[in-house]
Structure 1
């Protein structure tokens, strides 16, 4: 049955009314909710706020490095230390390494560009911080609905956003309602804020419907693959932050590694690769595993135990590609819009600040009795904020690297080491990008094959054992949430021309080509999906569309 047929048979859906509905219980969404409630308390008024979170709890789907700049969370909660926010490990040192296959060259402290300085920041689990933010939101009266995925945007007759509908539960693989079927519910609001993270399913639709990216640069993305380790006490260096460039990538791809020492003998490490890479034989997962074998990285984790694994797409964060963030009845915040600062390798402070700015505009509108118009004060507030100043300062970082790794390194030094030395804080030039990531992949016959070593099960691992430690689970009977516009395209085009890149760019083993009755076919193991969104971005034919599975499904990250 189609969704329209299900609605006709089992509807109408129950509806709940709020002043503000927020889709996504990450740092941006929760900061929006918290700031709305804070303003209501300050003004002695009421504002009804709810947050929909598709994960089993706030933080369950959150994945980030992460080194956190505390500026925004300090604005949100000046007393966050007294409130017990899990920012426990200050940064104690920065290492920036340029790797060759067997060696490493450390950038001297005096030559370190400003974007790699992390004084005053904290090494954190963003999942733990998000869980804490959820607790603060609930204490202020925010209604949080974990395990509920917003599956559809609802519109008023005038075209403005009315709210969202959650997905139906208990639909079988054949699309038919099962005995356990429950129809979704509608949440209506004066304003709906979308905070789904990078390449948000509904955010993507809204950008297209309202042409929010018209006249903007092409938004580009990267994939980040991360592991959490527990290491022997004699290897622990709490607060040490390590970033790497160079090996194992060649010059036709951009990427780098990170390794951060948390408290409690924990190390979080991972690899980020731009999704504009050209070689279809490249596997981001395998590159990350290979990177761990480098002596400079292996030395930190040897003798330790891997505790967790995850992957997530991230925006490359140039403000030139930031879409218009408001539309009739709603707004985009955090990485759903693209507020990440890629140069500083930080997004959580930007997500929180964007949510706060949106909340201030939404509260003002609700208090004035308005609804379903554009929150223009959000964009005005952003342009006057320190966040805009910060992002504008670093606006060229990714675009220089798109020219070449050498150009990227050289111009990062010019813009963020030399210019500040001569009193120029903001580069006087602006680079632009008009090329989308999926268009960069070249035919397999034109590119060299890459031979990756087999995992040893000690330092390096395979995909399936990695997905196991991500605690990923989906209701097996539901329809696959990874859909194809045309089922013939994967074999006829992707396999024939690009050697089936989806079998390599997916970090969870979701896609595999098998031969059956003498014919190649694509098998989609949707139950493995860690919701990274890479396939939705990198598929060269843009034939794969990620849609929301049943709420509560996906990874259940712990300590990530």
Structure 2
């Protein structure tokens, strides 16, 4: 079926992704319309089976943007119930030893339990931060959005961007009910066109449409390449006697070596639950590394194990994180639309927080779009202007000021290592950001070195108590895809993984994937074969980022597929 034969729906604004930035934008748009007693149609499309199903974040949450959006969020029942109460920061020296850092040596951006935060005071007049489930926050935001009149369509994946004469006009929803060979199955439903005067892309880190838009409009010209980490996270039920609601732990060091940067977190939330995770930079060099297995053995360190022993793991997930900061932030505007939140890369990695800045980008986007829709000169036309007002408002915001203040945080760690980079950042914060800006211009996929330069890593077998294997982990992510559908992990050259990546890098996709999607198996002819188990995919996008040949492209599968994260 050709595009001009598809059903079409018209909206004033279409938003791709029901994450914090997209939902914040939707709510603010309708707030403005309702205050002006104006009719406005806003649609949010979400590829997950429900809002929150694909949301994964730490998360320690600063409610600054939420306070701006809903000053009465507490009365509305926002799921912020566990204030951060105590900070501990550790350097793990080896599998047994650690050093707890004194509070005075912890960068101010890592303080979560009082005092002023980077970028000024919270609108509410305090600096409370909360241990939350980002997925539950998004579920709550969706309820507020629908009450305001926003239409939300979960289970529908935006597959293509509609671009006409250089202007984004909306999106095309992917077909439902297509067999693996591309033929329609019983119950086949062709995707609809959702057309809009303005389209906001809020897909999260390495959004597949955002990636294409950056290329189409050259939005990253003059910028450092975006840098990413992979975040792995588990949710645990723990015994009451070892649960301390609001306790916040961060750390770095073991098991990562000096050429592999990253850090871990462990937060005590509500309901006798603890979340634990590892964020590992995807700029690592050793192709034998497995982020999943590094995470599993990390939990055996006494500093972490004492919080988990006797507990039960109840959920698992993984997601790429756009952590490049201001140096890598692309231009966010193009004719007919915007990139917002982590689709652009608004996370403040110095704080290891991105929910508040993502939401702020959504609020700014909503204000710029609403102004454009009401511009007297624009009335009567089809929209589609480039929203220069957004750039002005964004660069005047506290969120942009945060990113500017921490622009060198990630690059300094890449350049000088965890200890040296940490020292640079500590001094830079003491001096108010007056040290020279540091850049990292090497893309993450280009940092891998040949496997022959490293010894193969013999990871310990999981004990089933603190550490686990990939199959049982993927099971806890509730991941599901219809098996008879086209594979959403596209290879530009199907022969390259065996022909080049296997001899050069021992085919690292087998290890950087946290869900066992990629395997090298023996074919019927006795030769190695590259196998893709796309049903396991948790939509983390690591393969799209880290493949050294950039041969793998992640695209959205049929709507509703993927993980179904509870409380993550």
Q: Which residue of 2 aligns with 1:414?
A: 427
Q: Identify the match of residue 68 of structure 1 among 61, 64, 71.
A: 61
Q: Which residue of 2 aligns with 1:378?
A: 390
Q: Identify the match of residue 265 of structure 1 among 248, 263, 272.
A: 272
For the residue of structure 2 that corresponds to 1:536, the secondary structure is helix
Q: Which residue of 2 aligns with 1:108?
A: 102
Does 2:406 correspond to 1:394?
yes
Q: Which residue of 1 aligns with 2:125?
A: none
Q: Normalising to structure 2: TM-score of the pair?
A: 0.95
| Aligned residue runs from structure 1 range 403-552, under 5 A | 403=415, 404-416=417-429, 418-419=430-431, 425-516=432-523, 517-552=525-560
| d(CA) in 2 for partners of 1:45, 1:87 | 32
| Aligned residue runs from structure 1 range 90-105, under 5 A | 90-101=83-94, 102-105=96-99
Q: Which residue of 2 aligns with 1:287?
A: 294
| d(CA) in 2 for partners of 1:503, 1:116 | 34
Which digits, 9 at most, give the CA deviation of each residue in 1:257-292, with x for residues without a partner?
A: 000000111001100000010000000000000100
| Aligned residue runs from structure 1 range 53-202, under 5 A | 53-101=46-94, 102-119=96-113, 120-156=128-164, 158-202=165-209
Which digits, 9 at most, give the CA deviation of each residue in 1:129-166, with x for residues without a partner?
A: 0000000000000000000000000012x210010000
| d(CA) in 2 for partners of 1:357, 1:20 | 15
| d(CA) in 1 for partners of 2:71, 2:49 | 29
After alignment, is 40-49 or 227-236 more displaced?
40-49
| d(CA) in 1 for partners of 2:103, 2:223 | 36
| d(CA) in 2 for partners of 1:475, 1:535 | 21
Q: Which residue of 2 aligns with 1:422?
A: none
| d(CA) in 2 for partners of 1:398, 1:489 | 32
User: What are the ranges of 5 or more consecutive residues in structure 2 without an aligned counterpart?
Assistant: 114-127
Q: Normalising to structure 1: TM-score of the pair?
A: 0.96
Q: Which residue of 1 aligns with 2:233?
A: 226
For the residue of structure 2 that corresponds to 1:457, the secondary structure is coil
| d(CA) in 2 for partners of 1:528, 1:232 | 31
For the residue of structure 1 that corresponds to 2:5, the secondary structure is coil
Which digits, 9 at most, give the CA deviation of each residue in 1:468-494, with x for residues without a partner?
A: 000000011111111101100010011
Which digits, 9 at most, give the CA deviation of each residue in 1:230-282, with x for residues without a partner?
A: 00001101001100111000011101100000011100110000001000000
Deviation at 1:179, TM superposition (A): 1.8
| d(CA) in 2 for partners of 1:115, 1:98 | 17
| d(CA) in 2 for partners of 1:373, 1:559 | 39
| d(CA) in 2 for partners of 1:498, 1:426 | 39
Q: Which runs of 4+ in 1 moved over 6 A?
A: none
For the residue of structure 2 that corresponds to 1:248, the secondary structure is coil
Deviation at 1:428, TM superposition (A): 4.3
For the residue of structure 2 that corresponds to 1:198, the secondary structure is coil
Which digits, 9 at most, give the CA deviation of each residue in 1:423-472, with x for residues without a partner?
A: xx333421122110000000100122211000111110000100000000
**Contact 2:428–2:435, Cα closer than 8 Å, also in 1:** no
Deviation at 1:538, TM superposition (A): 0.2
Give the 3 Å change call, closer, same or farther, for CA 317–77 of structure 1 in structure 2. farther
| d(CA) in 2 for partners of 1:234, 1:276 | 39
For the residue of structure 2 that corresponds to 1:203, the secondary structure is helix
| Aligned residue runs from structure 1 range 340-379, under 5 A | 340-368=347-375, 369=379, 371-379=383-391
| d(CA) in 2 for partners of 1:26, 1:345 | 17
**Contact 2:462–2:469, Cα closer than 8 Å, also in 1:** yes
For the residue of structure 1 that corresponds to 2:2, the secondary structure is helix
Deviation at 1:412, TM superposition (A): 2.0
**Contact 2:17–2:201, Cα closer than 8 Å, also in 1:** yes
Which digits, 9 at most, give the CA deviation of each residue in 1:405-438, with x for residues without a partner?
A: 222121122123x32xxxxx33342112211000
| d(CA) in 1 for partners of 2:187, 2:493 | 30
Deviation at 1:69, TM superposition (A): 0.6
User: What are the ranges of 5 or more consecutive residues in structure 1 without an aligned counterpart?
Assistant: 1-5, 420-424
Deviation at 1:110, TM superposition (A): 2.4
Deviation at 1:76, TM superposition (A): 0.7
| d(CA) in 2 for partners of 1:524, 1:476 | 12
For the residue of structure 1 that corresponds to 2:522, the secondary structure is strand
For the residue of structure 2 that corresponds to 1:503, the secondary structure is helix
